[in-house]
A = this chain, B = another copy of it.
């Protein structure tokens, strides 16, 4: 009936039974199902079945369906940020812009991110903080990196713009293009690497035409 003894040491969360691997397994299954079928479209029984376990275990690790979902989103956002930081090169300005543009397009049109946006957008009314997590972990990260690069380029005269942040936004907007909206609405499949590259190159070229200082 009542808890007689408190657990010896509280872990990062409330007292929980099992191993971190088990938790990761649950999250992996949840990832697969939630991203495929959405939040409402996925039942906890389904998660348990796919896990090869029982609902009891599920609820031992996560207090509710919502809690599991939020943990999943948190997890995925962390993964996203990490992915965006891949391959920071020490090359010229154009190459660095290209790398970021490519990474940004790749991320933002990937099946995972698109599904996340689709689901988070649908839940935006009830849980805007999840949308915020996504934005901070994805687009905001790209924007920060890009702003820094642009600011440096403005400082040494390679670029010309009033506001580095606004300029960075311009490049990302050009990079997204219509790809993103069409992806969100399920009108096109995940673009291949060639398409991503073409979009990134076009965006960077346009950006440079906008922000290259006119030769004096």
Q: Which chain A residues have a beta carbon within 8 Å of chain B's beta carbons? A: 36-38, 40, 117-122, 124-125, 128, 131-132, 134-135, 139, 143, 169-170, 172-174, 176-178, 180-182, 184-187, 206, 209-210
Contact = CB atoms under 8 A, between A and B. Distances in A.
A117 B183 CA distance: 12
Contacts of A125: 36-38, 186
Contacts of A182: 135
State how many copies of this chain the complex holds: 2
25 contacts: A37-B125, A38-B125, A40-B40, A117-B184, A118-B122, A121-B122, A121-B185, A121-B186, A124-B186, A125-B186, A128-B185, A128-B186, A131-B185, A132-B185, A135-B181, A135-B182, A135-B187, A139-B178, A170-B174, A170-B177, A173-B178, A176-B176, A176-B181, A184-B184, A206-B210
Contact of A121 (B40, B132, B184, B206): B184
A36 B122 CA distance: 11
B122 A206 contact: no
Nearest to A115: B125
A80 to B, nearest CB: 14
Nearest to A138: B181
A173 B203 CA distance: 11
A33 to B, nearest CB: 13
